[in-house]
Structure 1
Amino acid sequence: MRYLQGLPHQLPGNRQQLAAYQARHFRFEMESGVATVTLDRPERKNPLTFESYAELRDLFRSLAQAEDVRALVLAGAGGNFCSGGDVHDIIGPLTKLDMPGLLTFTRMTGDVIKALRACPQPVIAAVDGVCAGAGAILAMASDMRLGTARSKTAFLFNRVGLAGCDMGACAILPRLIGQGRASELLYTGRSMGGEEGERWGFFNRLCAPEDLLPQARALAAEIAAGPAFANGMTKKMLHQEWSMGVDEAIEAEAQAQAICMATNDFHRAYHAFAAKQKPVFEGD
């Protein structure tokens, strides 16, 4: 394999840089390995459209090859996170679609969550104000959530005549807050306040509104400074082990950890420890 220039995981077909990415339907920023996606339609509390759903799906998928992104922050502009699907741009047109068209849409929205969960980078949702419908799903599917006391999270699908089983809600939400609490939110569609969300374990912690994004970015920066390959493995195993028994999970983790022990970052950490220095991880 002497014709290969560099390690296989570094080949052009397996890597890309997202620093220059130009988003069309939201804001995208990069700084020191931390990407921030900001839903930016504050006049309507940052609703999603067909186009923004599709762009989020494609961006999340591309993160698997993005060597310059080590953590991602999801946020909303203007004091709100996301009000869900746009009533005029999405809900109205959906009432006119046939079954194949409806299924195409619901599968596409589900693909957004699959891609979010499959990307190796830890994702932190910074949730302020309204966080409803698909917005609540985006927050739920993130790896961590920071909120504010004024945040209002609502899985309000049943209030528009739909089931609460949307985009993975019935699988993921009970694992975050418990079956009974998830059932209450999905059957009633009521809002969960910030303090209630923190008490129930939906939010990792609450922040003052003005500190929310800085704290989310600081947490993302802390993660980004760590071993990117190993963090990606942790995320993969957190999700993959849902469908495993304990014995299967222990064996899977043995294999995953052995793989991580073969990385350069593991050796860097050892040599830094021996030299009484802080390791500088490079993600390989």
Structure 2
Amino acid sequence: MSDSTERVDPALAAGNRKQLAGYAAQHFKWQVEGGVATITLNRPERKNPLTFDSYAELRDLFGQLKYATDVKAVVLAGAGDNFCSGGDVHEIIGPLVRLKAPELLMFTRMTGDLVKAMRTCPQPIVAAIDGVCAGAGAIMAMASDLRLGTARSKTAFLFNRVGLAGCDMGACAMLPRIVGQGRASELLYTGRALGGEEGERWGFFNRLCAPEAVLGEAQALARDLAAGPTFANGITKTMLHQEWSMTIEQAIEAEAQAQAICMLTEDFSRAYHAFVAKQKPVFQGD
């Protein structure tokens, strides 16, 4: 390990670096092993719906990940045979119909802040999607960086089925960039379920796995990412997100600056010396 830790003022490090392996999750399962964190939505008897509490905890946890030194990649999964059925009908939808505009806006901003936190945390997020992936569950899958699915998975942006617009939690901005404008329009206007094989053809899923293997394959992919140059991977994620609103000229200049920063890292030097020595580089994320 380099002396990068020793070079940082302790007061600066204290406010910007933290260990999250020991985090005690209250509303889902959290496990960290080998730099890979696995978040498991854990209400299988209800197909893992979200509640006000789990929304808020997920938002806050993804926000903390930008400071984590022991988490290099994240896997997002659901317990049992389903990913996530969206907001709990009894614990979220029922209470929402009784709220006024200020409180409703509080809720919709909270859900949107979860997506913002997922997109701005530096760790790549791999979603392991089996069975039902609906509503906010589909949004969380969409907001992940990579998606592994199964043939039996059913992904539905079903907001219009409950009388709401498809423009929820960034769907109208992000989904067209994944599957194309026309296909996104179909999913958001109809709320129909996207099957696993169709989702792979459309590019929503990176690949399909057997149901019993999807979590393991997602974790294996996350381990590969965690073993890579994680500082540089974080820059890649940042640029993939920020360049949506740039011109080509702006993007090329931003990438020139970003790549120059990456060339200052120890990982870049390690890769060069490993190549010269005909060895595989061992990246350390600094």
Deviation at 1:5, TM superposition (A): 4.9
Q: Percent identity?
A: 75
Distance in 2 (CA, whole Å) between partners of 1:8 and 1:62 is 20
Q: TM-score, normalised by structure 1?
A: 0.97
2:279 corresponding residue in structure 1: 277
Which residue identity is paired with 1:7?
V
2:238 corresponding residue in structure 1: 236
Say whether 1:65 aligns with 2:67: yes
Distance in 1 (CA, whole Å) between partners of 2:262 and 2:179 is 31
Distance in 2 (CA, whole Å) between partners of 1:32 and 1:11 is 22
Which residue identity is paired with 2:8?
L
Distance in 1 (CA, whole Å) between partners of 2:83 and 2:34 is 24
1:44 corresponding residue in structure 2: 46
SS at match of 2:40: strand
Which residue identity is paired with 1:127?
I
- The 8 Å contact of residues 5 and 11 in structure 1, kept in 2 or not, is answered as no
Give 1:193-212 correspondences, 5 Å limit.
193-212=195-214
Q: Which moved more, 1:268-277 or 1:195-204?
A: 268-277
Which residue identity is paired with 1:6?
R
Runs of 4+ in 1 over 2 A off after TM superposition: 4-10
Which residue identity is paired with 1:242?
W
Count, aligned residues: 281
Gap regions ≥5 residues in structure 1? none
SS at match of 2:7: coil
Which string of whole-angstrom CA distances, capped at 9 and with x for unpartnered residues, describes residues 90-132 of structure 1? Answer: 0000001100000000000000000000000000000000000
Which string of whole-angstrom CA distances, capped at 9 and with x for unpartnered residues, describes residues 29-71 of structure 1? Answer: 1110000000000000000000000000000000000010000
Q: TM-score, normalised by structure 2?
A: 0.97
- The 8 Å contact of residues 113 and 167 in structure 1, kept in 2 or not, is answered as yes
Say whether 1:132 aligns with 2:134: yes
**Which of 92, 95, 114 does residue 93 from structure 1 map onto?**
95
Over aligned residues, Cα RMSD in angstroms?
1.1
Which residue identity is paired with 1:221?
R
Gap regions ≥5 residues in structure 2? none
Distance in 1 (CA, whole Å) between partners of 2:6 and 2:248 is 41
Distance in 1 (CA, whole Å) between partners of 2:18 and 2:284 is 16
SS at match of 1:270: helix
SS at match of 1:46: coil
